[in-house]
């Protein structure tokens, strides 16, 4: 009982610590400072892009992992899920040597198309997508595995081709899982720090997302940093509440 209490306090106290530091009176003006608005706007843009990209590439990836048997599938799945456990800063280093100006792919992007991803908003989006997509893949794959596949059989006997079945039957049936996965991915993208700062840098208005701004402003303008933290916290609580409704209110 005591240990449980200590464990709970350990998780709850930092949250209380954060909340009691908020100067509620000046919260609105703190959030209206140029650094804060730039960071928040960038975070919204980057995290939504990262979520969109995660859905665009993650859903087909989840389909392949759940439905196609091929040699090395378990290795492929482990690799896809690696960003969940790998330190984000390591992910950032990896992104740098893959897509940076000197990187595996990045050098050709730069030489041929004059595209430089490092220190760009696109780079921040990539870093967020890298850490967020596994959440979507794992959730959608689980939904695909647990759904009743006989609905797909029924659709096939009604003359539907595989793409039609995926669009009109499978996706609607796994929609709750897809929404949950997208929400998780979005929350993860929003809080992304290590990979972003390593790969995309910390340029205000271009790659300095909210977590980066919090880290930077904690010394110079602690009130603004705390205000931004509280916004991130509120968003995470909202996502949790949404997922809880999804999971408990499952039709």
Partner 1 sequence: MSLVAHVVAHVGSLDLDAAVEVDEGETVAILGPNGAGKTTLLRALAGLVPLEAGRVTLDGVVLDDGARVFVAPEGRPIGVVFQDYLLFPHLSVLENVAFGLRSHGIRRAAARNTATIALERVGLADLVDMKPRELSGGQAQRVALARATASEPRLLLLDEPLAALDQSARGTTRRDLRAHLATFSGIRLLVTHDPLDAAALADRLVILEQGRVIQTGSFADVSAHPRSNYVAELVGVNLLRGLGHGDHLELPSGAMVVVPGAGSGEALAVIHPRSIALHIQPPAGSPRNVAAGSVESIESLGDRVRVRIAGSVPLIAEITPAARRDLDLGAGTPVWTSFKATDVTVFPV
- Please give the structure tokens belonging to residue 38: 């730039």
Does 184 contact partner 1 by CB under 8 A?
A: no
Pick 136 or 174: Cβ nearer partner 1: 174
The phi, psi pair for 227, rounded to 5°, reads: -60, -45
Does 251 contact partner 1 by CB under 8 A?
A: yes
Query: Which one of residues 17, 34, 159, 249 is an interface residue with partner 1 (CB under 8 A)?
Result: 159
E strand map for 126-237: none
Sign of the four-CA dihedral 109, 199, 195, 41: negative
- Please give the structure tokens belonging to residue 194: 């290590």
Query: Which one of residues 3, 70, 150, 248 is an interface residue with partner 1 (CB under 8 A)?
Result: 150
Does 215 contact partner 1 by CB under 8 A?
A: no
Pick 105 or 154: Cβ nearer partner 1: 154
Query: Which one of residues 156, 179, 236, 242 is an interface residue with partner 1 (CB under 8 A)?
Result: 156
For residues 189 and 132, is the Cβ–Cβ distance under 8 A? Answer: yes
CA 202 to each of CA 110, 140, 215, 218, 239: distance values in angstroms, whole numbers, following the listed order:
21, 32, 11, 15, 26
Pick 87 or 162: Cβ nearer partner 1: 162
Instruction: Using the rule CB under 8 A, give the single segment among 54-62, 84-92, 121-129, 153-161 that binds partner 1.
Output: 153-161
Other beta carbons less than 10 A from residue 164's beta carbon: 13
Greatest CA separation for the chain: 66
Does 143 contact partner 1 by CB under 8 A?
A: no
Does 119 contact partner 1 by CB under 8 A?
A: no
Sign of the four-CA dihedral 89, 92, 97, 100: negative
Which single residue is written with the structure tokens 């595989």?
Answer: 162
Q: Tell me how far, at minimum, the Cβ of 173 lies from partner 1, in Å.
A: 7
Query: Which one of residues 109, 115, 160, 242 is an interface residue with partner 1 (CB under 8 A)?
Result: 160
Does 3 contact partner 1 by CB under 8 A?
A: no
Query: Which one of residues 161, 241, 244, 247 is an interface residue with partner 1 (CB under 8 A)?
Result: 161
Does 29 contact partner 1 by CB under 8 A?
A: no
CA dihedral 50, 52, 53, 55 (to 10 degrees): 120
Does 220 contact partner 1 by CB under 8 A?
A: no
Binding site for partner 1 (CB under 8 A): 148, 150-151, 153-161, 164, 168-169, 172-173, 175, 251
């Amino acid at each position: 009982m005591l240990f449980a209490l200590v464990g709970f306090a350990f998780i709850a106290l930092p949250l209380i610590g954060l909340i009691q530091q908020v100067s509620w009176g000046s919260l609105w003006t703190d959030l209206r400072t140029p650094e804060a608005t730039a960071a928040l706007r960038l975070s919204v843009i980057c995290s939504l892009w990262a979520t969109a990209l995660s859905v665009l590439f993650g859903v087909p990836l989840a389909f392949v992992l759940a439905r196609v048997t091929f040699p090395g599938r378990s290795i492929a799945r482990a690799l896809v899920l690696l960003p969940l456990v790998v330190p984000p800063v390591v992910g950032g280093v990896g992104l740098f040597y893959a897509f940076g100006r000197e990187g595996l792919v990045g050098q050709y992007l730069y030489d041929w198309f004059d595209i430089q991803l490092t220190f760009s908003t696109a780079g921040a989006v990539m870093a967020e997508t890298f850490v967020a997509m596994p959440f979507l893949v794992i959730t959608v794959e689980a939904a695909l595995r647990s759904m009743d596949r006989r609905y797909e059989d029924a659709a096939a006997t009604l003359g539907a081709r595989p793409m039609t079945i995926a669009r009109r039957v499978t996706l609607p049936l796994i929609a709750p899982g897809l929404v949950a996965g997208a929400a998780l991915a979005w929350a993860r993208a929003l809080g992304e720090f290590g990979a972003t700062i390593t790969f995309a840098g910390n340029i205000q208005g271009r790659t300095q997302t909210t977590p980066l701004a919090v880290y930077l402003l904690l010394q110079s303008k602690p009130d603004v940093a705390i205000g931004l933290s509280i916004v991130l916290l509120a968003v995470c609580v909202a996502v949790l509440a949404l997922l809880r409704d999804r999971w408990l209110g499952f039709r």
